[in-house]
């Protein structure tokens, strides 16, 4: 049995019901990580709005999942203008564009199965902008749905491609994010509890380890299904929670054979107080 590191953040645990995390906002209704997607998630009852961070060439943190812009923006409409930015794989990467250049772009729905009617309407947001929007909504336009929580709606922030951006741009995303959160008084558990709960996640241990030296905010380690079984004991010592690929929790055999071995062997032993 492995003990999990506990967070001092009261908003990190909820004994009444599971916390609702809106992944990239309400991406089934609006283009992912757009303002409309985030606002829809807010009024839809999410406890946390989940978002990803990438870095522009001039060091701004923007809400963007992929390192490239091809799938979720209309960058291809500017292919002639930015022909010098196209890399050998045919993609246009966030780290090759300034914030001013990215301001030209509009959001697209990632999947062709989504209606295109909402494409080309929403800009790419910065971290500062989404923080200010959620602060404003919590203060001036609080929702009625989902008011059973004791805390304001918060942000669930993922640091993406930390090592690549550090090597390519020389930008430490953990330091940059902490500076922005500190500006709004949101980089400690005590401040976030009353103002806006914040949880930080990443697939990269280096990103979380660095941020642990800067703040006491809850840290979530992510990992995918094809990476093999992680060092569970190490994770339990260093991080407050895990975000496993869904296949670790449930796969096609779960319906007939019950919980996966991962759930039976590791999750229930480690987080037994929080896992049914």
* Residue 77 maps to a domain: yes
Note whether 130 and 50 are within 8 A (CB).
no
pLDDT score of 263 more than 90: no
Q: What is the mean pLDDT of residues 93-102?
A: 98
pLDDT score of 166 more than 80: yes
Q: What is the CATH number of the domain that holds 131?
A: 3.20.20.190
* Residue 158 maps to a domain: yes
Give residue 276's pLDDT: 39
CA distances from 67 to 53, 54, 55 (A): 9, 7, 9
| Residues contacting 1, CB < 8 A, separation 6+ | 269, 270
pLDDT score of 158 more than 60: yes
Q: What is the mean pLDDT of residues 106-133?
A: 94
Give residue 272's pLDDT: 40
| Residues contacting 261, CB < 8 A, separation 6+ | none
Give the count of domains, the chain. 1
244: helix, strand or coil: strand
Note whether 148 and 134 are within 8 A (CB).
no
Q: Is the pTM of this model over 0.85?
A: yes
pLDDT score of 27 more than 60: yes
Poorest-pLDDT segment among 2-11, 72-81, 98-107, 261-270: 261-270
* Residue 24 maps to a domain: yes
* Residue 70 maps to a domain: yes
* Residue 244 maps to a domain: no
pLDDT score of 244 more than 50: yes
* Residue 139 maps to a domain: yes
Domain that holds residue 137: 13-224
202: helix, strand or coil: strand
CA distances from 253 to 16, 177, 247, 260, 261 (A): 29, 40, 10, 8, 11
* Residue 185 maps to a domain: yes
* Residue 102 maps to a domain: yes
Closest CA to 65 of 150, 160, 144, 181: 160
- Name the E strands within 79-168: 154-159
Q: What is the mean pLDDT of residues 226-254?
A: 78
Q: What is the mean pLDDT of residues 227-248?
A: 82
């Amino acid at each position: 049995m492995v003990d999990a590191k506990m967070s001092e953040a009261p908003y990190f645990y909820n004994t009444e019901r599971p916390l609702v995390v809106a992944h990239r906002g309400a991406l089934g209704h609006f283009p992912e990580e757009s303002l409309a997607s985030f606002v829809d998630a807010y009024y839809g009852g999410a406890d946390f709005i989940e978002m990803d961070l990438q870095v522009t060439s001039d060091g701004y943190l923007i809400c963007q999942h992929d390192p490239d812009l091809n799938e979720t923006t209309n960058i291809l409409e500017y292919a002639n203008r930015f022909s010098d930015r196209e890399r050998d794989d045919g993609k246009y990467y966030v780290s090759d564009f300034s914030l001013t250049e990215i301001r030209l772009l509009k959001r697209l729905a990632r999947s062709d199965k989504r209606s295109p009617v909402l494409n080309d309407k929403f800009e790419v947001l910065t971290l500062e902008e989404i923080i200010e929007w959620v602060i404003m909504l919590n203060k001036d336009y609080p929702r009625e749905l989902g008011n059973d929580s004791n805390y304001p709606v918060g942000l669930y922030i993922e640091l993406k491609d930390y090592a690549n951006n550090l090597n390519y741009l020389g930008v430490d995303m953990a330091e940059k994010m902490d500076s922005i959160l500190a500006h709004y008084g949101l980089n400690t558990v005590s401040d976030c509890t009353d103002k806006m709960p914040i949880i930080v996640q990443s697939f990269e241990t280096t990103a979380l380890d660095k941020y642990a030296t800067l703040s006491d905010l809850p840290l979530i380690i992510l990992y995918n299904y094809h990476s093999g079984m992680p060092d569970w004991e190490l994770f339990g010592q260093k991080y407050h929670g895990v975000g496993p690929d869904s296949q670790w929790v449930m796969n096609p055999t779960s319906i007939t054979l019950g919980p996966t071995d991962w759930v039976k062997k590791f999750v229930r032993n480690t987080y037994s107080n929080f896992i049914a």
